[in-house]
Chain A
Amino acid sequence: DVKVTQSSRYLVKRTGEKVFLECVQDMDHENMFWYRQDPGLGLRLIYFSYDVKMKEKGDIPEGYSVSREKKERFSLILESASTNQTSMYLCASSTRTGHQPQHFGDGTRLSIL
């Protein structure tokens, strides 16, 4: 089974802090994704990566950056956290070959106070 592990289930940070969310997958997947999910807005893609050191902006990249130094790890960084970044953050991975689905981690519920 695919295993996508996010470092924290719940996280509370303060406005202006630099926040790191970590995601690790164990299936040697090329593609990794970061989403946020808010009530009524569904899943929105923040950034994705299709290879080590490669990154592409998604639909809502403002206020975020990412890092992919190793194939199995994809980090999301909130440079200066703001209250409107309070959300559920979901990491996913998929293989590049064929029409394969994405597999999600358990999510991190982030609160910015």
Chain B
Amino acid sequence: QKEVEQNSGPLSVPEGAIASLNCTYSDRGSQSFFWYRQYSGKSPELIMSIYSNGDKEDGRFTAQLNKASQYVSLLIRDSQPSDSATYLCAVNLNTGFQKLVFGTGTRLLVSP
């Protein structure tokens, strides 16, 4: 089993819809979780961090964490064509170092 798993997609949604991206992880001791957005040919950009069970909202983005079920999700409301990118889920392993394990990413396509 991979440490962090994401559906590779592409996930296609129309403009204005809600995009839902999911991620599962294997290490029950993981404490922190991050979502990065990566445009083609560019480097990953941090968009959300979440550390506690429940929801965290930032503008059009909501991160959801369920440690009991070992999943974290990202909701994008009112999706825009500019949101089309690959979204990477990253999990901080329960070690002394700030070492992240990344999923392979979900490609999101938002059509006008």
* Range, interface on chain B: 20 to 34
Pairwise interchain contact B42-A99, C-beta atoms closer than 8 A:
no
A100 CA / B97 CA spacing, docked (Å): 11
State which residues 34-57 of B face A: CB under 8 Å.
Answer: 34, 42-46, 49, 51
Pairwise interchain contact A42-B43, C-beta atoms closer than 8 A:
no
One of A14-22, A67-75, A76-84, A90-98 contacting the partner? A90-98
Jot down 29 A-B pairs with beta carbons below 8 A, ordered by A.
A33-B99, A41-B104, A42-B102, A42-B104, A42-B105, A43-B44, A45-B99, A48-B97, A50-B97, A90-B43, A90-B44, A94-B98, A96-B98, A99-B31, A100-B32, A100-B98, A101-B34, A101-B46, A101-B100, A102-B46, A102-B90, A102-B98, A102-B100, A104-B43, A104-B44, A104-B45, A106-B42, A106-B43, A107-B43
Q: How many residue pairs, one in A and one in B, have C-beta atoms under 8 Å apart?
A: 50
Pairwise interchain contact A99-B104, C-beta atoms closer than 8 A:
no
Chain A residue nearest to B105 (CB atoms) is A42
Question: Chain A interface (Cβ within 8 Å of chain B)?
Answer: 31, 33, 40-43, 45, 48, 50, 56, 90, 94-96, 99-107
Question: Chain B interface (Cβ within 8 Å of chain A)?
Answer: 31-32, 34, 42-46, 49, 51, 88, 90, 92, 97-100, 102-105
B103 cross-chain contacts in A, Cβ below 8 A: 42
Contacting A99 at CB < 8 Å: which of B46, B51, B105? B51
Which A-B residue pairs are the 6 nearest by beta carbons?
A: A99-B32, A42-B104, A104-B43, A43-B102, A107-B43, A94-B98
Most chain A CB within 10 A, of B42, B88, B98, B104, is at B98
A45 cross-chain contacts in B, Cβ below 8 A: 99
Pairwise interchain contact B43-A31, C-beta atoms closer than 8 A:
no
A96 CA / B98 CA spacing, docked (Å): 6
Chain A residue nearest to B30 (CB atoms) is A99
Most chain A CB within 10 A, of B43, B51, B99, B105, is at B43
